[in-house]
Chains A and B, each alone.
Chain A
């Protein structure tokens, strides 16, 4: 299962619409979640609207959060999204087999069996999360909290039975044209990583849309510089569910 978690505190202002690129991500089987940080001042009417739209287009959820609640919010979203994705797949299967539309329509005893399966899959499904951090000037005072929250997320992910890993990006890069920078490639262990965000140059631009495209590339090819191909990982979810739901 693949997720992008975008953490931002404002509006995009360069390049393609992030709502469109989030929609593209979704078509690639990547769910996009968005957290809007609201520590100093507000994110603004436009900002919160954009956040909602990105999440909607990306099939995920959005939430405003202060830095003190960030770790909590990230984990809640990640978990809920995993459950939701599995639930949607289960619902499709149910519809296929029973003609029922959702878990909620089942009588309690049947529901209990289905939920057991959902819980099992929530715990065991392989999970890849790409964190995409807005590093525009206004985010600077919040980055320490963001890094802490990422480390805390890693602790929770490591407790899962299924393989879990994350990658960290920030955007924009140092010069124009560098839409996103990879800070940390796929990993399941951050304890050896001293500092996540090292080569930061805070600029005013916020190319959220193009940055999402870069991350989609990374999911595809394992690099953000496009073209270098790698055999595509198959999404095994459907097959696994086929075994469980009978």
Chain B
């Protein structure tokens, strides 16, 4: 569960103003703070410019040296196993401490991901973009799982989507090794919360969260109602019921049911099935969105056009 509001580490939670120069204590790297990007359970993330260059990065200052380091260790391990074709090679840029007054603040510098959280993206571009964003997300997860990792705290806020549906996961603080316990999770997307299994990290844990993320994106109010029931009665049957009730979820329901029950062999299979599903899906919007009068108007003009051609050719 999110480790928010702990009473022991309250020291440097207020953010640092734009224009501050962050200099690394050990390696001397220099970064100019441009603005706040976001604040989370483990730290504060800033947009920074590397001094003397035009390179923009995201810089995360941790509340706790150990927590941050354990996140960094995951990033390092991920970096180590990526092969050349992966673009992720340059995610982690630098690790250091920043002296602010009498405090040492641990930080790391990573690639700046331009994008917006999944929910915002889908609200702006339309729910049908879930097809593509979901596909790209599954690809990211497949790569992670292949390396023996499980993302853990998969939720809409941790998925950043760029303009054309490219997906980047952020916040590796919840990543666990396969077989270990999931360190960070958020109720709605947690298998344990739905009495659907334990909190041991496995690929199926991420599939489950992925499925609830989809349900959240297309049927938020129904999910909310189901989540607010008595804890003992919560179950995957509630999630299945939502899929059956919500028209927007129906095209996905076979895939989602399989994800919720952990029915895939591996994440590649989940990816392939998603891909087949979205290419086979009937095109819904044209049917629903073309109003009747427009259709008849169109039919009439088409008829007139044909008549006109017929008349000229005659």
- Listed in ascending order, the chain A residues whose CB lies under 8 Å from chain B are 61-63, 71-73, 75-77, 79-80, 83, 87, 103-104, 107-108, 111-112, 115-116, 118-119, 123, 148, 151-152, 155-156, 158-161
**Given known A-B contacts A62-B7, A76-B6, A156-B199, A108 and B76 have beta carbons under 8 A apart:** no
Provide the B167-203 mask, 1 if CB < 8 A to any CB of A, else 0. 0000000000001111100000000110000111100
- Listed in ascending order, the chain B residues whose CB lies under 8 Å from chain A are 1-8, 26, 65-66, 69-70, 72-73, 76, 95-97, 104, 106, 179-183, 192-193, 198-201, 231
Which one of B1, B69, B73, B96 contacts A75 once the chains associate, using CB atoms below 8 Å? B1
Which one of B5, B7, B182 contacts A159 once the chains associate, using CB atoms below 8 Å? B182
Q: Indicate if the CB atoms of A112 and B69 lie closer than 8 Å.
A: yes
Q: Indicate if the CB atoms of B1 and A112 lie closer than 8 Å.
A: no
Q: Indicate if the CB atoms of A80 and B73 lie closer than 8 Å.
A: no
Q: Indicate if the CB atoms of A159 and B72 lie closer than 8 Å.
A: no
Residues of chain B lying within 8 A (CB to CB) of residue A79: 3, 183
Instruction: List the 9 closest A-B pairs by CB distance, nearest first.
Output: A159-B181, A159-B199, A72-B1, A115-B69, A155-B192, A159-B200, A76-B3, A104-B65, A108-B95
Q: Indicate if the CB atoms of B6 and A112 lie closer than 8 Å.
A: no
Which one of B2, B6, B73, B180 contacts A63 once the chains associate, using CB atoms below 8 Å? B6
Q: Could you tell me the dominant secondary structure of chain B's interface residues?
A: loop
Question: Known contacts A119-B73, A156-B199; can you find 12 more A-B pairs with CB under 8 A?
Answer: A63-B5, A71-B1, A72-B1, A72-B4, A73-B5, A80-B6, A83-B66, A118-B66, A148-B231, A155-B199, A158-B198, A159-B181
Q: Indicate if the CB atoms of B72 and A112 lie closer than 8 Å.
A: yes
- Please report the C-alpha to C-alpha distance between residue A132 and residue B232 in the assembled complex, in whole angstroms: 23
- Please report the C-alpha to C-alpha distance between residue A202 and residue B198 in the assembled complex, in whole angstroms: 34
Q: Indicate if the CB atoms of B26 and A108 lie closer than 8 Å.
A: yes
Q: Indicate if the CB atoms of B2 and A116 lie closer than 8 Å.
A: no
CB distance from B257 to the nearest CB of A (A): 23
Residues of chain A lying within 8 A (CB to CB) of residue B97: 108
CB distance from A161 to the nearest CB of B (A): 6
Q: Whose C-beta in chain B lies nearest to the C-beta of A155?
A: B192
- Please report the C-alpha to C-alpha distance between residue A111 and residue B193 in the assembled complex, in whole angstroms: 34
- Please report the C-alpha to C-alpha distance between residue A148 and residue B187 in the assembled complex, in whole angstroms: 14
Q: Indicate if the CB atoms of B198 and A155 lie closer than 8 Å.
A: yes
Interface centre among A72, A77, A104, A159 (most CB of B within 10 A): A159
**Given known A-B contacts A112-B73, A155-B198, A61 and B66 have beta carbons under 8 A apart:** no
- Please report the C-alpha to C-alpha distance between residue A72 and residue B2 in the assembled complex, in whole angstroms: 7
Interface centre among A103, A107, A155, A160 (most CB of B within 10 A): A155
Residues of chain A lying within 8 A (CB to CB) of residue B200: 158-159
Which one of A104, A107, A160 contacts B26 once the chains associate, using CB atoms below 8 Å? A107
- Please report the C-alpha to C-alpha distance between residue A80 and residue B182 in the assembled complex, in whole angstroms: 14
Which one of B6, B73, B96, B183 contacts A115 once the chains associate, using CB atoms below 8 Å? B73
Q: Whose C-beta in chain B lies nearest to the C-beta of A115?
A: B69
Which one of B4, B70, B192 contacts A119 once the chains associate, using CB atoms below 8 Å? B70
CB distance from B126 to the nearest CB of A (A): 34
- Please report the C-alpha to C-alpha distance between residue A148 and residue B193 in the assembled complex, in whole angstroms: 11
